[in-house]
């Protein structure tokens, strides 16, 4: 491995390719999502090791609701299990978790679990792990503009106002955006926040994106 000359403050990842990874192996799509959970853990471990301050992951877009019902429900179940399994690791490694997006549309029991995880890790002083759930860049800009206009009637919105009303207002914009699986687009993700972000695209499917692949992206 080469030398990482500068550690980014905020790395964001579009986790893509779970379904294709599974199909190539003759498996159901959900098996790809299950294997992808291991890549989430590996990426977070490296972020903690390298003291990356913010790691954000695009876990579920608003467009994903169009997927088969059993796949969507399987994803919620995976999230439940991951919360139960990983909370202790997160607390021990001082990781703070934020879940951002249109969370009101999530199942009630998942909303409760998500809020519990955020509360349990709120004291973390190391890496902040941001999970983007039921999120889209267009939705984020629209909700920011709507909230601003309601709170500031008759006032013209400025760029810095938009920064303060996005769901990511509490965190810096990404320095590096990684997308796996060979697709070279950002798919309605952090449209405002990535205006000055470096992009890194890899053909590796998300379930195979482990520490070595993450390091390659950082080196590049």
pLDDT band at 218 (very low <50, low <70, confident <90, very high): very high
Q: What is the model's pLDDT at position 68? A: 82
Residue 196 has pLDDT above 70, yes or no: yes
Task: With a cut of 90, say whether residue 37 has pLDDT above it.
Answer: yes
Per residue in 131-165, pLDDT (tens digit) is: 999 999 999 999 999 999 999 999 999 999 999 99
Helix (H) / strand (E) element for 69: namely helix 69-92
pLDDT higher for 196 or 1?
196
Q: What integer pLDDT is reported at residue 5 of this predicted model?
A: 81
Contact call for residues 78 and 33 (beta carbons, < 8 A): yes
DSSP codes joined into one string, 89-134 = HHHHTT-EEEEES-GGGS-HHHHHHHHHHHHHTTT--SPEEEEEEE
pTM of the model: 0.95
Give residue 2's pLDDT.
65
Mean pLDDT of 102-114: 91
Secondary structure class of 190 (helix, strand, coil): coil
Average pLDDT score over residue span 13-22: 96
**In the predicted model, what is the mean pLDDT of residues 173-189?**
97
In sequence order, what are the residues at sequence separation of 6 or more whose Cβ sits closer than 8 angstroms to the Cβ of residue 89? 41, 95
pLDDT score at 69: 85
Contact 102, 140 (CB under 8 A): no
Place of tokens 């902040």: 128
Cα–Cα nearest to 172, from 141, 215, 130:
130
If 0-12 CB within 10 Å is exposed, 13-18 middle and 19+ buried, where does residue 76 land? middle
The pLDDT score that the predictor gives to residue 1 is 57
Q: What's the whole-number mean pLDDT along residues 116-140?
A: 96
52: nearest Cα among 5, 95, 9, 14: 9
Tell me which residues are annotated as active site: 16, 64
Strand partners, 128: 54, 96
Encode pLDDT of 44-83 as tens digits.
999 999 999 999 999 988 888 888 888 888 888 888 899 9
Show Cβ contacts of residue 213 under 8 Å, excluding neighbours closer than 6 positions: 202, 204
Residue range 98-104: mean pLDDT, rounded: 94
């Amino acid at each position: 491995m080469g030398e990482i000359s500068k550690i980014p403050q905020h790395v964001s990842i579009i986790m893509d390719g779970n379904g294709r990874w599974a199909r190539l192996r003759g498996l159901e799509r959900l098996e790809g999502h299950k294997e992808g959970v291991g890549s989430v853990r590996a990426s977070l471990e490296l972020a903690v090791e390298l003291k990356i301050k913010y790691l954000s992951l695009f876990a579920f877009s608003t467009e994903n609701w169009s997927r088969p019902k059993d796949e969507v429900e399987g994803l919620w179940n995976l999230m439940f299990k991951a919360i139960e399994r990983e909370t202790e690791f997160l607390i021990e490694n001082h990781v703070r978790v934020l879940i951002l997006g249109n969370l009101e549309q999530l199942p009630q029991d998942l909303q409760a679990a998500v809020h519990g995880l955020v509360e349990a890790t709120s004291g973390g002083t190391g890496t902040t792990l941001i999970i983007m759930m039921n999120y889209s860049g267009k939705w984020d800009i629209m909700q920011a503009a709507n909230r601003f206009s309601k709170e500031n009637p008759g006032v013209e919105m400025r760029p810095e106002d938009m920064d303060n009303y996005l769901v990511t207002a509490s965190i810096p914009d990404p320095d590096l955006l990684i997308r796996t699986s060979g697709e070279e687009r950002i798919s309605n993700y952090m449209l405002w926040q990535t205006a000055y972000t470096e992009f890194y695209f890899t053909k590796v499917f998300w379930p195979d994106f482990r520490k070595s692949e993450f390091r390659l992206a950082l080196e590049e």
